[in-house]
Each structure stands twice: as structure tokens, then as C-alpha cells.
Amino acid sequence: MPFAAATAPAAGPLQPWLWIALGAAALLLPSWWEAAQGLWRHDEFAHAPLVLAIAAWLFWRQREALAQLPDATRGAGGWWLLACGLASFTLGRSLGISSVEFAAQVVLVAATVWLMKGAQGLRLAWFPVFYLLFMVPLPGTLVDAVTEPLKHTVSMVVVDVLHALGYPIGRSGVMITVGPYELLVADACSGLNSMLSLAALGALFIHLKGSGGRLHAALLVASIVPIAFAANIVRVIALVLITYHFGDAAGQGFLHGAAGIVLMLAALAAFFALDALLSRMGARRR
């Protein structure tokens, strides 16, 4: 129905996309509603609704440019991609595999753009499609494989720094002992969540800024992991010090959540500062 409407002579340039939006809502809203009741309430996936909203806004910004492109011939490639997306979505949703379910949604969006506006439209809308990937939950096996080394590294660095400052601190694996208190470096303290969030914000910033050259963008992308990791180290150190000086209740209460906000603000400040430094260096070179 949406594709038939797209070829109707009386249809306006935006009318086919309205039909597509209605069809997508009927297919995807139940999935999003279910995620909002469960998956998206976890800290590691709380950014997904924001990513979805930003991607929708990015598509809206390009609506006129997409509408001005000629209609695609709709070759077999687009239909095969659409079929693969629908099959993967059905499989992921029926089996409860969130990573497959949400990855399939990205494929469906790409297939729809390809069918409506061809490869040219897909090149034009590549970033909104790519940005939706930040909404896809990572597979549990991959998360476990990345999280464990990160937790051990965070624990080691925190203990070494505070021991050098004279605090009575030690560790056993990811269990940190400071004074009479024991703190477990949990998965949320590994820094993986902050890396993903900073990557999403950093990618959006680089795209919207749209200047500075490829080297500038590559250096900013490469800085995301070390900036997020360093900010997370500072966060864990702060929580350990709060617990040591003010007790376990203070370390696990309001200040624990506030430390996460401060972590992201500090990481963003460092990211923007690096961007300003690179821009200044580029201006001097020119």
C-alpha cells in the first residue's frame, strides 16, 4: 500500500512517507512499548528512546531533500533487504532476542528508504540510519566479554591511585576494600555504558558540526573510549572517597546517581575541549 501510494500522480511529495510512518507505527510501536516497560528501564539501555527521537528528528531535517529525489525503480535488492528485515524482526521478537529485534528495525528503515528513493536516497539518509544502531542492545555475550576486563582495570587503577595518596585500600578481583567498607565494582561501573552514551552524543556532534576534516573527526572518534574510561575512573574514585569519609549510605544514596551525571558532563566537557583544541590547531595550520 505505501509503495502504490508513492506512484500515484495525485500524491504530494510527503504523502507516501505518511503512509510509511503509519505502517511503521503499526509494526514497531508494540515492540517499543514493551521495551519501555522493561528493557529501556535498565541503565545500560536508558539512552535508546533518546536515540530513537534524535534519529526521527534527523530524518525530519532531510524530509525535503528526500522528497525532491526521483522515485526509485525498486529493484530486487531493496525487496530482499526488506524481506530479511521482516524475517529477522519476526524471529527476534518471537524468541525474545532484543539485539536481533532492534537490529532488524534498522534494516527495515534502510530497506524502506532504498525502495522509495533508491541508493541515492540511502546515501543521503545514511547518518539517521546509522544512528539508529545506537538503539540496538549489545548481545549479552559481548557485554560480558567487554565488561569483565573493564571492571578489573577500573578496580586496579582506582586502588593504585588511592593507595598512592595514602588511603588504606586494597582489592580482591573487583571487590575494593577501603577502611571498614567493601565496595563491589559492578557492571554499571565498568564504563561501558558511558562509552556508548558518549559515542552516541559524539557522533551526533561530529555530524551536525560537519567541518574540520576527516582527521579532525577521526581523532574525536578515537578519543571517545579513553575520555569515557578516564571519566569513569574519576567517578569510581569519588564514590570510594565518599564511602570512606561519609559512610556506605552516602556512597550508595543520592550521590551515587549524581556521580553518574557528573561523569557524563565531565566526559562531554573533555570531548568539546578536545574539539576546540583541534579546531584551533587546524586554523593555525591553515
| Catalytic sites, residue numbers | 189, 235
- Counting beta carbons within 10 angstroms of the beta carbon of residue 1, is it exposed (0 to 12), middle (13 to 18) or buried (19 or more)? exposed
Give the CA angle between residues 221, 222, 227 to the nearest 5°.
95
Nearest residue to 114 (alpha-carbon basis) of 86, 76, 84: 76
Please state, in angstroms and rounded to a whole number, the distance separating the CA atoms of residues 151 and 173: 9
- In the Cβ-directed half-sphere of 92, how many Cα atoms lie within 13 Å? 21
Let me know: does 73 contact 118? Beta carbons within 8 Å. Answer: yes
Contact call for residues 179 and 240 (beta carbons, < 8 A): no
Question: What sign results for the dihedral spanned by CA atoms 71, 75, 81, 87?
Answer: positive
Q: Cell 536508558 identifies what position?
A: 46
DSSP structural state of residue 212: S
In the numeric block, the cell 593555525 is attached to 284
Cα separation, 49 vs 197, whole angstroms: 12
Most distant CA atoms of the chain, gap in Å: 78
**Distance in Å from the first CA to the final CA of the chain:** 54
